[in-house]
């Protein structure tokens, strides 16, 4: 490998081909309604990857709007942050050499990059959303794997009956799906936390409570509802970032989980982490990661590091201003759109003082938790579906189907389509009112 | 983003910083006995990451040999392929844009890159080591996750007793460790397969047999030993590549697992896959990946794609010639080193016709399965340890401690140190013989 340092910069040698490939792909025009990727499909007679179009667009350059296409507000795909990374293209790109980190372990024989860990601690301290001093940190392949490891680690090894895993309704369905799937002699999903509230002092049942704050789906800053000698909690703080909520104080719980997905928007990188007080829990979760996947992809760790560096360079102001502004604007537009409706209502989240922005801030939730108010409209998902809107039914969150979750964190195109469809729905309502 | 195409190449804009960073790191000299990485530790008063030295070297540029340092032949860290990727620097580098694949899913709503899947099929067909036509392919975070998914998927849902997971001794310890850890109502690790050989026709116990070929630790081309209506098998073909074994014929089993780690040497990328005949098994394994980690890091998939492209460009000849030559030379040196010893012996693996190289080939195993031949030396690990060699004890493979596995796939420095220590051991033996 020959490198020449010429004047003010490197005269690139081995890396230039990869850089050129990436720029060529980035230069493919998809009309702002799609994107071409380095690993996209290439047709046999073409050299360049095809445009991958957003939901309501098609054509070779994604320029054709598909009329009457459904507005998809189902998934929590955090593409609202994509424009931020396009704006910070130069700082956020990573060139991975062919021989980068081939080994199973870093230099210290672990599967965790200590440099990345340090950056995570710095970020929490900057944002003020979690205490990390004297805490252990482990990584997982998305917070998906982290919460699974946490359930395993908090379950007693030698109890006569499995720990019951519970959460306050409405809750994120993965808790149920994942715990059911991995059910063992040590833990079992039980569902609603509320029946246990008055029993924790008298019963010796081991309980593991998922506490999600802000909550998915409804954005509330939940607190644990169960307390007692046999109760443990997993605090899922995926959304506890200034994009989505004022940060009243640093969280200081025994076990807190986070994910890159809802911080930088990189869901595809599959990177999550936990901040842990107890050494024994940390050790069990570390063992889980070793036996399940031998740790997290070193490529994901490299990418996460680069992204966190960009955030830290801007002292967090840039990305969180961008995220908050975007989410706040969307929430306002949605509220405005539904303001004349008697048929639909949205959750209310009180404003709070945000220690990061150092001012009172309105909420800017990741999801709308929409309620169909008409007595007869018990299946709110179907009501929206009929209006060409795909939400996620309340049932998925163990709540009434009178509720639907609408994702506000997808791409601009998805959000625009959602608002268009909702406007149509609300205007029908008005014309019916006027008609009577 | 502005891109200019000038003359014969791109005038790089946003990507050049990343490219320069990578080249600057690659240019750091670590004396050939270590390496600096983009995400390496940077001291406060320095700009560049520190050299990370190989086992027996130290100093800021890894130039200081540590006398009497232990030869570490424990882990199966496939660094023997690192020089290949350094030789192919230009082709194997990937530049990842900040906005690359942020979404949870690819364009087809799955978590699997169809382009990468196509390349994997092409590679198997080129090498001739596995039938993939009309088979399903799933990805995992290393074959570690793939085999765990396979055990879950092959276990009966509604049996009165759990499926017993077995393997022929000696076997890779992860099968036991992982299956024990995730033990459920559906499966349980049982250990040695041989007691079941004569029962499979009469008993209705569900059995899952791990068949590893070439076997870890001893390199033998194992076949399934259990057959019957209640028997299922997981064929772990991690080492079934021309680096390590002649390829007599394409494997055509119901469930076969592979890993990038032993193909390209990228253990850190955590990428494995399975080739599966039955749709129902494929669907269960897909569900496993979704609930466990929501699929494999898209960054790992991008990197795997790039590496496979390099292999396919060279029609596989380049990497497999390199891998075979390296492993074959090491095996010869090891055999030569021990040829005068009566105290230690190595496994024998018969030569076979290799359909990929189209000629008879000697074996070139990933591991030496060393036996201490002296009656009194029952703890072979301790014998080697006393001679400053770290192997992996037979017990770890559920075998006698008279055996030790020595890894031959680590870096050149590791292998050289191993041979040095072994030479000393064998020469002691000679001098004792001469002395009597």
DSSP B297-339: -HHHHHHHHHHHHHHHHTTTHHHHHHHHHHHHHHHHHHHHHHT
Instruction: Determine, for residues A102 and B265 on separate chains, whether the beta-carbon distance falls below 8 Å.
Output: yes
Instruction: Determine, for residues B268 and A297 on separate chains, whether the beta-carbon distance falls below 8 Å.
Output: yes
pLDDT band for B429, please (50, 70, 90 cuts): confident
Chain segment A152-173, per-residue pLDDT in tens: 999 998 878 999 999 999 999 9
Contacts of A14 in chain B (CB under 8 A): 23, 26, 89-90, 93
- Before B115, cis peptide (omega within 30)? no
Mean pLDDT of the B327-352 span: 97
The whole-angstrom separation of Cα A411 and Cα A72 is 10
The whole-angstrom separation of Cα A282 and Cα A286 is 6
pLDDT value of residue B11: 82
Please say if the pLDDT value at position B8 is more than 60.
no
pLDDT value of residue A159: 79
Q: Is the CB of residue B101 less than 8 Å away from at least one CB of chain A?
A: yes
Adjacent-strand bridge partners of A407: A367
Please say if the pLDDT value at position B409 is more than 90.
yes
For chains A and B, what is the number of CB pairs under 8 angstroms? Answer: 349
Chain segment B56-91, per-residue pLDDT in tens: 999 999 999 999 899 999 999 999 999 999 999 999
SS (H, E, C) A312-349: HHCCCHHHHHHHHHHHHHHHHHHHHHHCCCCCEECCCC
Chain segment A276-328, per-residue pLDDT in tens: 999 999 999 999 999 999 999 999 999 999 999 999 998 989 999 999 999 99
Helix, strand, or coil (residue B256): strand
pLDDT value of residue A433: 59
Helix, strand, or coil (residue A298): helix
Contacts of B288 in chain A (CB under 8 A): 181
Task: Please give the backbone phi and psi of residue B138, each rounded to the nearest 5 degrees, phi first.
Answer: -125, 160
Minimum Cα–Cα distance from A54: chain B residue: B107
Q: Is the CB of residue B267 less than 8 Å away from at least one CB of chain A?
A: yes
The whole-angstrom separation of Cα A217 and Cα A396 is 10
**C-alpha dihedral, B46 to B51 to B57 to B61, nearest 10°:** -60
Question: Considering Cα of A65, then A66, then A72, then A76, what sign does the dihedral take?
Answer: negative
Cβ proximity of A256 and A237 under 8 Å: yes
The whole-angstrom separation of Cα A149 and Cα A274 is 10
Helix, strand, or coil (residue B359): strand
Instruction: Determine, for residues A85 and B93 on separate chains, whether the beta-carbon distance falls below 8 Å.
Output: no
Which of B363, B407, B434 lies closest to B221 in space, CA to CA? B363
The whole-angstrom separation of Cα B321 and Cα A282 is 44
Q: Is the CB of residue B182 less than 8 Å away from at least one CB of chain A?
A: yes
The whole-angstrom separation of Cα A368 and Cα A170 is 13
Instruction: Determine, for residues B102 and A265 on separate chains, whether the beta-carbon distance falls below 8 Å.
Output: yes
pLDDT value of residue B1: 42
Question: Given phi > 0 = left and psi -120 to 50 = alpha, else beta, which region is B305?
Answer: alpha
Chain segment A223-264, per-residue pLDDT in tens: 999 999 999 999 999 999 999 999 999 999 999 999 999 999
Instruction: Determine, for residues B19 and A16 on separate chains, whether the beta-carbon distance falls below 8 Å.
Output: yes
48-67 in A: which are within 8 Å (CB) of B? 52
**C-alpha dihedral, B287 to B289 to B292 to B297, nearest 10°:** -150
Q: In percent, how much of chain A has pLDDT > 70? A: 97
Task: Give the number of other Cβ atoms within 10 Å of residue B363's Cβ.
Answer: 20
Instruction: Determine, for residues A93 and B18 on separate chains, whether the beta-carbon distance falls below 8 Å.
Output: yes
The whole-angstrom separation of Cα A62 and Cα B385 is 64
Nearest CA distance, B403 vs chain A (angstrom) = 24
pLDDT value of residue A9: 56
pLDDT value of residue B432: 67
DSSP A50: P
The whole-angstrom separation of Cα A317 and Cα A357 is 8
Minimum Cα–Cα distance from A115: chain B residue: B41
At A34, which helix (H) or strand (E)? Answer: strand A34-35
Helices A142-154 and B279-293 sit at what angle, rounded to 10 degrees?
Answer: 80
Instruction: Determine, for residues B23 and A42 on separate chains, whether the beta-carbon distance falls below 8 Å.
Output: no
pLDDT higher at A133 or B363: A133
How remote is the C-alpha of A346 from its chain's centroid? 21
Per-position b or e across A232-249, b if 16+ CB within 10 A of its CB: bbbbbbbbbbbbbbbbee
Please say if the pLDDT value at position B4 is more than 90.
no
Work out the burial of residue A326: count CB atoms within 10 Å of its CB; fewer than 13 is exposed, 13-18 middle, 19 or more buried: buried
pLDDT value of residue A46: 78
- The rounded mean pLDDT for chain B is 95
Report, as ranges of residue numbers, the positions in chain A whose pLDDT lies below 70.
Answer: 1-10, 432-436
Minimum Cα–Cα distance from A177: chain B residue: B291
Contacts of A98 in chain B (CB under 8 A): 85-86, 88-89, 91-93, 306-307, 310
Cβ proximity of B274 and B257 under 8 Å: yes
DSSP B190-214: EEESGGGTTTTTT----EEEEEESS
Q: Is the CB of residue A313 less than 8 Å away from at least one CB of chain B?
A: no
The whole-angstrom separation of Cα B389 and Cα A164 is 47
Cβ proximity of B167 and B207 under 8 Å: no
Chain segment B375-396, per-residue pLDDT in tens: 999 999 999 999 999 999 999 9
Q: Is the CB of residue B11 less than 8 Å away from at least one CB of chain A?
A: no
pLDDT value of residue A416: 97
Per-residue CA distances from A331 to A114, A347, A353, A396 (Å): 38, 11, 18, 23
Q: In percent, how much of chain B has pLDDT > 70? A: 97
Q: Is the CB of residue B287 less than 8 Å away from at least one CB of chain A?
A: yes
Question: Considering Cα of B107, then B110, then B115, then B116, what sign does the dihedral take?
Answer: positive
The whole-angstrom separation of Cα A417 and Cα A73 is 9
Helix, strand, or coil (residue A284): helix
16-35 in A: which are within 8 Å (CB) of B? 16-27, 35
Contacts of A141 in chain B (CB under 8 A): 141, 270, 292-293, 296-297
The whole-angstrom separation of Cα A106 and Cα A123 is 22
Cβ proximity of A236 and A211 under 8 Å: yes
Chain segment B92-136, per-residue pLDDT in tens: 999 999 999 999 999 999 999 999 999 999 999 999 999 999 999
pLDDT value of residue A160: 87
Instruction: Determine, for residues A267 and B104 on separate chains, whether the beta-carbon distance falls below 8 Å.
Output: yes
Mutation for testing the B interface, residue in A33, A96, A296 having most B CBs under 10 Å: A96
Adjacent-strand bridge partners of B355: none
ipTM of the complex: 0.96
> CB-based contacts of B71: which residues, under 8 Å, 6+ apart?
B55, B56, B388, B389, B390, B414, B417, B418, B420, B421
Instruction: Determine, for residues B297 and A52 on separate chains, whether the beta-carbon distance falls below 8 Å.
Output: no
> CB-based contacts of B390: which residues, under 8 Å, 6+ apart?
B70, B71, B72, B73, B74, B384
> CB-based contacts of A339: which residues, under 8 Å, 6+ apart?
none
Contacts of A18 in chain B (CB under 8 A): 19, 90, 93-95
Which of A142, A380, A372 lies closest to A271 in space, CA to CA? A142
Helix, strand, or coil (residue A200): coil
pLDDT value of residue A431: 73
Q: Tell me the pTM.
A: 0.96
Among partner residues B79, B98, B102, which is closest to A103 by beta-carbon distance?
Answer: B79
Helix, strand, or coil (residue B53): strand
- Span between the terminal Cα atoms of chain A, in Å: 80
Please say if the pLDDT value at position B3 is more than 50.
no
Instruction: Determine, for residues A182 and B184 on separate chains, whether the beta-carbon distance falls below 8 Å.
Output: yes
Q: Is the CB of residue B7 less than 8 Å away from at least one CB of chain A?
A: no
Instruction: Determine, for residues A178 and B10 on separate chains, whether the beta-carbon distance falls below 8 Å.
Output: no
The whole-angstrom separation of Cα B187 and Cα B209 is 12
Minimum Cα–Cα distance from B272: chain A residue: A293
Q: What is the CA radius of gyration of chain A?
A: 23
The whole-angstrom separation of Cα B103 and Cα B27 is 34
pLDDT value of residue B10: 59
Which of A260, A270, A266 lies closest to B297 in space, CA to CA? A270
357-386 in A: which are within 8 Å (CB) of B? none
Mutation for testing the A interface, residue in B51, B94, B409 having most A CBs under 10 Å: B94
pLDDT band for B433, please (50, 70, 90 cuts): low
Task: Please give the backbone phi and psi of residue A339, each rounded to the nearest 5 degrees, phi first.
Answer: -65, -30
Contacts of A308 in chain B (CB under 8 A): none
pLDDT value of residue A200: 74
Instruction: Determine, for residues B26 and A148 on separate chains, whether the beta-carbon distance falls below 8 Å.
Output: no
């Amino acid at each position: 490998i020959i490198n020449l340092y010429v004047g003010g910069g490197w005269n690139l040698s081995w890396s230039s081909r990869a850089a050129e490939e990436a720029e060529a792909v980035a230069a493919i025009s998809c009309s702002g309604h799609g994107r071409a990727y380095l690993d996209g499909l290439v047709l046999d007679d073409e050299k360049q990857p095809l445009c991958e179009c957003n939901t309501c667009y098609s054509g070779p350059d994604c320029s054709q709007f598909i009329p009457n296409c459904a507005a998809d507000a189902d998934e929590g795909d955090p593409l609202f942050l994509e424009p931020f990374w396009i704006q910070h293209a130069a700082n956020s790109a990573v060139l991975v050499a062919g021989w980068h980190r081939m080994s199973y372990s870093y230099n210290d024989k672990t599967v965790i990059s200590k440099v990345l860990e340090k950056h995570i601690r710095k970020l929490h301290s900057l944002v003020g959303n979690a205490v990390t001093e004297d805490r252990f940190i482990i990584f997982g392949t998305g917070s998906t794997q982290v919460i699974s490891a946490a359930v395993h680690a908090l379950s007693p090894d030698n109890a006569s009956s499995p720990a019951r895993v519970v959460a306050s309704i409405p809750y994120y369905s993965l808790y149920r799906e994942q715990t059911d799937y991995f059910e063992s002699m040590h833990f079992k999903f039980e569902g609603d936390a509320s029946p246990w509230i008055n029993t924790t002092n008298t019963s010796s049942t081991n309980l593991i409570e998922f506490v999600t704050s802000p909550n998915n789906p409804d954005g509330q800053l939940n607190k644990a509802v169960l307390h007692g000698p046999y109760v443990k909690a997993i605090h899922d703080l995926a959304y506890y970032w200034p994009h989505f909520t004022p940060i009243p104080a640093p969280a200081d719980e025994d076990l807190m989980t986070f994910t890159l997905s809802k911080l930088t928007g990189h869901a595809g990188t599959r990177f999550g982490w936990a901040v842990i007080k107890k050494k024994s829990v940390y050790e069990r979760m570390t063992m889980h990661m070793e036996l399940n996947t031998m740790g997290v992809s070193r490529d994901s760790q490299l990418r996460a590091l680069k992204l966190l560096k960009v955030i830290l360079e801007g002292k967090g102001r840039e990305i969180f201003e961008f995220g908050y502004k975007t989410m706040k604007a969307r929430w306002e537009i949605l509220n405005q759109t539904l303001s004349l409706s008697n048929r639909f209502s949205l959750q209310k989240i009180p404003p709070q003082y945000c220690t990061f922005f150092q001012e009172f801030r309105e909420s800017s939730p990741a999801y709308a938790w929409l309620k169909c108010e008409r007595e007869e409209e018990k299946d709110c998902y179907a009501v929206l579906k009929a209006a060409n809107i795909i939400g996620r039914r309340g049932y998925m969150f163990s709540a009434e189907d009178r509720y639907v979750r609408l994702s506000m964190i997808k791409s601009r195109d998805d959000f625009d389509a959602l608002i268009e469809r909702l406007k149509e729905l609300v205007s029908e309502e008005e014309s019916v009112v006027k008609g009577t």
